[in-house]
Amino acid sequence: MRYVRDNIDRLAAYTPGEQPVRTDVVKLNTNENPYPPTQAVMRAIAAVSPDQLRRYPSPQATTFRKAAAEVHDVQPTQIIATNGGDELLRMVMTAFCQPHPQGGRGVGVASPSYSLYPVLAEIHETSVTVVPLNDDFSIPADFATRLNDTACGLAMLVNPHAPSGRFQPIDQLAEIARSFNGVLLIDEAYVDFAQSDALSLVRGESAMKNVVILRTLSKGYSLAGLRFGYGVAHASLIEALDKIRDSYNTDAVSQAAAVAALQSRADASQSWKKVIDERQRMTHELKALGFAVLPSASNFVLASPTPGGLAAADIYRSLKDRGIFVRYFDQDRLRDKLRITIGTPQQNDALLAGIKSLETSSV
Ligand SMILES: *Cc1c(COP(=O)(O)O)cnc(C)c1O
């Protein structure tokens, strides 16, 4: 007797980066911010009252929507709060895609990209149109046309791109949104480490009606453990997404923390600056060790070791043996590369020393 729905039975689940139980490791594998959350966030969590826990939370996270609207210069009706950015990814698929027997309204993704996207498509039994990125990880000029050809209802692009860190200029994303017949989700999980963002596309009278911007507090605000993200879009799309939200999808503690996080943005941005400085340094240092490193607008770099030297997979395993975790993807176009999260200067130095020790021990 098989109890599980066929597509779920077949499903290869998303594999997150390893979260080792040991705390004495140098953890540069899941793009967490190496600095603590702001003090305002910690105070807000400590100030949560027994009554706030006894009662159900605000279903729509009303206070948060107001705070986010203020910070981003949009209306509160343009914000939806979600249980991590990942919940928003699931929600856009439920709202804008159709299961394949009905045809059309599948999802279009670029490859390589966030490996959760195709897993969500499989769960929703919706078809996936995969468009390979150019060699430099830029988005091909015919991206929207190719998605229109297969009648996609949704496109998902991550900017700055993961796992390359490449920043796609916003006017090119706007052009894709204009040409595309479905909804474009712009995943800005790493935007706090970049120079600009796509919010202008959803702001004011000329706001595009087919763009959803994903934000998360996991990376920029050092709150991956809290699980809080949000979407910014034209109110008509937010209304649709709101219909399919779990009744209480974000909890009272995380709502309080999220409001404090956005309101202490200036403090949080201190950590962004430190990460950006270290990103420059690490790019330079890794290049000096013979790696090819792509320019990154994110809190990680994608680095390829010298061809003919130690393979990326071997470096990954040997570093892990030394208690240094980076991310290795055993898939096309990434197999010869390592994705390295930017840590504190001390963590980054430990990584560089680890790599140097491999080189000497392999001679
Ligand atoms: C981290 C991340 C998210 C969202 O993560 P949450 O922790 O669920 O908020 C979304 N997209 C990409 C590409 C990410 O790396």
Q: pLDDT digit of tens for each residue in the chain (363 aa)?
A: 789 999 999 998 888 888 888 888 999 999 999 999 999 999 999 999 999 999 999 999 999 999 999 999 999 999 999 999 999 999 999 999 999 866 789 999 999 999 899 999 999 999 999 999 999 999 999 999 999 999 999 999 999 999 999 999 999 999 999 999 999 999 999 999 999 999 999 999 999 999 999 999 999 999 999 999 999 999 999 999 999 999 999 999 999 999 999 999 999 999 999 999 999 999 999 999 999 999 999 999 999 999 889 999 999 999 999 999 999 999 999 999 999 999 999 999 999 999 999 977 764
| 248 CA → ligand 1 middle, Å | 20
Cα 221 to averaged position of ligand 1 atoms, centre (Å) = 12
Q: What angle do CA 71, 168, 222 make, to 5 degrees?
A: 45
Dihedral of CA atoms 346, 352, 353, 357 in degrees, nearest 10, equals: 160
- Whose Cα sits closest to atom 15 in ligand 1? 189
Task: Indicate whether residue 157 lines ligand 1 (CB < 6 A).
Answer: no
Count CB neighbours of 215 within 10 A: 28
Task: Say if residue 112 is preceded by a cis peptide, omega within 30 of 0.
Answer: yes
Amino acid of residue 183:
V
Contacts of 138 (CB under 8 A, 6+ apart): 166, 168
229 lines ligand 1 (CB under 6 A): yes
The CA-based angle 69-107-156, given to 5 degrees, is 40
Residue 272 Cα to ligand 1 midpoint, Å, equals 17
Name the residue with the closest Cα to ligand 1, atom 12. 189
Amino acid 263 reads Q
Distance (Å, whole) CA 228 – CA 217: 6
Integer Cα distance of 73 and 67 in angstroms: 10
Query: What's the gap in Å between 111 CA and the centre of ligand 1?
Result: 17
Q: How far apart are CA 149 and CA 129, in angstroms?
A: 10
Q: Is the CB of 85 under 6 A from ligand 1?
A: yes
CA of 309 to the centre of ligand 1 (A): 33
Q: Is 244 helix (H, G, I), strand (E, B) or coil?
A: coil
pLDDT for residue 23 = 82
Q: Give the residue among 259, 258, 202 at the shortest CA–CA distance from 235.
A: 202
Q: Which helix (H) or strand (E) holds 284?
A: helix 265-288
Measured by CA distance, the residue closest to atom 2 of ligand 1 is 189
Nearest-angstrom CA–CA distance, 200 and 77: 16
Q: Report how far ligand 1's centroid is from the alpha carbon of 216 (Å).
A: 7
- pLDDT at 196 (0 to 100): 96
pLDDT at 22: 82
Pocket flag, ligand 1, residue 188 (CB < 6 Å) = no
- The protein residue with its alpha carbon nearest to ligand 1, atom 11, reads 189
Q: Which residues contact 74 (CB under 8 A, 6 or more apart)?
A: 199, 202, 203, 232
Q: Which atom of ligand 1 is nearest to the CA of 217?
A: 9
Q: Which two tokens stand for residue 97?
A: 């895609």
**Whose C-alpha lies nearest to ligand 1, atom 1?**
189
DSSP letter, residue 201: G
> What is the C-alpha separation between 61 and 79, in angstroms, rounded?
10
Two tokens, residue 311: 């393979």
Residues in the chain: 363
User: Ligand 1 centroid vs 288 CA: distance in angstroms?
Assistant: 31
Residue 40: CB atoms within 10 A of its CB come to 18
Convert 1-22 to b/e letters by CB count within 10 Å (16 or more is b).
Answer: eeeeeeeeeeeeeeeebeeeee
| Residue 219 CA to ligand 1 centre (angstroms) | 8
Strand ranges of the sheet holding 300-304, from the earlier edge strand across to the other edge = 292-293, 300-304, 338-341
**With a 6 A CB cut-off, is 68 part of the ligand 1 pocket?**
no
